[in-house]
Amino acid sequence: MSIPNASSASSVGRTRTTWQKTLLCASLLLSLGTVGCQPSSFDLTLDLTEQRQNAQPAGAISTLLPTPFVFAVNLADEAKIRGANPPRQVFLKDFSLVISSTTRPAGDVDTFDYVNTAEFFIEPTRVGSVLQKVKVADIPAKEGPTGEMWPRLIANLNLLPLLTEGAQLTSTATGTTPGDDVSYAGKIVLAVDVF
């Protein structure tokens, strides 16, 4: 006696098994794709506090950052916002200063021509810190009358320990005070590598 539905039952079983395998494989790929989509790094752009150099007859400048810039950023939180793992390393990727219009009345042209040299440092803000301040950028020579400056960056400095503990950007500079008040802002871009 033959069982008329034996081959069709076997065929349905194979179809169901193939369909289940396909569904399982698709689920695995989707879950791996989600895990694989986490960024391995991200950039974080910070706006520097506007700075001001006041005009003084025959004066000298000693800094380009009269108001030190405090890094008020939590890198672990920034990583979570981006769906990334915790930070592993942080590097200075870009840094610029640009003349702003705050102290520039109509017809006034302000530039950085009063600056001869400058050095920029990131240093701890916590009293008693064992971390040292590090030089992160410089302007080694007078750039002439320009409204923008891109300091030369010091490569391969992992700033994570300083930025995690609490840090600020400071500077030293040489040059003469400008002929009239000059205001400028800036941007810092941090490259954050994650685990």
Confidence (pTM): 0.78
In this prediction, what percent of the chain has a pLDDT beyond 70?
Answer: 81
Rounded to an integer, what distance in angstroms lies between the CA atom of residue 176 and that of residue 158?
Answer: 33
Rounded to an integer, what distance in angstroms lies between the CA atom of residue 182 and that of residue 103?
Answer: 6
Q: What share of the chain is helix, strand, coil (3-state, %, to 5)?
A: 25, 35, 40
Reported as a single tens digit per residue, the pLDDT across 146-157 is 899 999 999 999
Return the higher-pLDDT residue of 24 and 106.
106
Rounded to an integer, what distance in angstroms lies between the CA atom of residue 76 and that of residue 170?
Answer: 24
The total number of residues written for the chain in this structure:
195
Give the pLDDT band (50/70/90) at residue 92: very high
Return the higher-pLDDT residue of 145 and 11.
145
Give me the pLDDT at residue 32, please.
43
pLDDT at 108 over 80: yes
Alpha-carbon distance values, 73 to 70, 91, 190 (Å): 9, 14, 11
Which CATH number is 40-194 given? 2.60.120
Give me the pLDDT at residue 18, please.
62
Q: Do residues 121 and 162 touch, judged by C-beta distance below 8 A? A: no
Reported as a single tens digit per residue, the pLDDT across 19-55 is 566 555 555 444 444 445 677 999 999 999 999 999 9
Chain centroid to CA 152: how far? 16
Reported as a single tens digit per residue, the pLDDT across 127-148 is 999 999 999 999 999 887 789 9
- Please compute, for residue 194, the number of CA atoms within 13 A of its CA located in the half-sphere on the CB side: 18
Q: Is 32 helix (H, G, I), strand (E, B) or coil?
A: helix
Give me the pLDDT at residue 137, please.
98
Q: Is 31 helix (H, G, I), strand (E, B) or coil?
A: helix
Give me the pLDDT at residue 146, please.
87
pLDDT at 120 over 80: yes
